Amino acid sequence: MQLHYSLEDLKDIDWMGVLPIILPIMAVGFILILIALLDLYRNRKTRENVFIWTLVILFCNTIGPILYFVIGRKDSRA
């Protein structure tokens, strides 16, 4: 019984079968990050903690932009 996997086991994966599942998820994540960064850039004068929000958006992948749109857009100085 094998309890661990090695890099040799990656050869056995059918990548053409996995790509139709992975690519749309990656595309949605990239689009979310792009839209969040554009919104943050356009409203940088009215947003607080622009640098921190940039780091959250970039390093928290899909969750970061969602957090920005839910929480970050409310901290504007109107």
- What are the residues whose beta carbons fall under 8 Å from the beta carbon of 64, sequence distance 6 or more? 33, 36, 56, 57, 58
* Residue 11: band (very low, low, confident or very high) from pLDDT cuts 50, 70, 90: confident
Distances (CA, A) of 58 to 34, 46, 67, 68, 69: 9, 20, 12, 11, 14
pLDDT at 76: 56
Count the Cβ atoms, other than its own, within 10 Å of residue 44: 12
What's the pLDDT score for residue 30?
94
Residues 31-75 have pLDDT tens digits of 999 999 999 999 888 888 899 999 999 999 889 999 998 988 775
Element (H, E) at 41: helix 15-42
